[in-house]
Structure 1
């Protein structure tokens, strides 16, 4: 857990090499730049929390590879664009938040396929 610090700069793409990582908490820092596509290589990851940073750009579609993910929190950043179609594969999702960003487009119908969802 690395939350509630003053970490700055971008999220290192090399974090995608931590193949056994289960939880990644970088919330409440000062991280900027985009979310690296390489995080989509974390196939064992169950919880991703990047809330309350200064992250920008679009949500990487590669995160749809993380089918074990049950928590996806990226609220209060500067993210833009649509929710990627590849997120359809996140069928174990229980808690999902992109609140406080500039996400646009329609609410994807695939969310109906997230049968485990509890917080949306």
Structure 2
């Protein structure tokens, strides 16, 4: 398990404008790693978050999260996550993926809905308004 400082750093690293309506704090960062469905990158290896979106569809409790970032070795990382109204630790899904290029990370690491929310739609996909 990693220490709190790593997650505080990620909370400060994340963009604050246009990221949805959820305050993306160190608790949410910690949850993305603690409840990952498979391997997750080391939090210390994330050096940049270029795009991030976090929303609560009902306005409380539940979460939908999508992000794109860069690692220390130049590879790109994505995370698509959700939690029901009970929050992380009950019912959730957290999918981290690492790809060699930004384009591959967008096309293979993010689903269509996440790409649209991040304004990273592929050719032929509609972007959100």
Tell me if TM exceeds 0.5.
no
Q: TM-score, with normalisation over the residues of structure 1? A: 0.28
- Larger Rg belongs to: 2
Q: TM-score, with normalisation over the residues of structure 2? A: 0.27
By percentage of residues, which structure has more helix?
Answer: 2
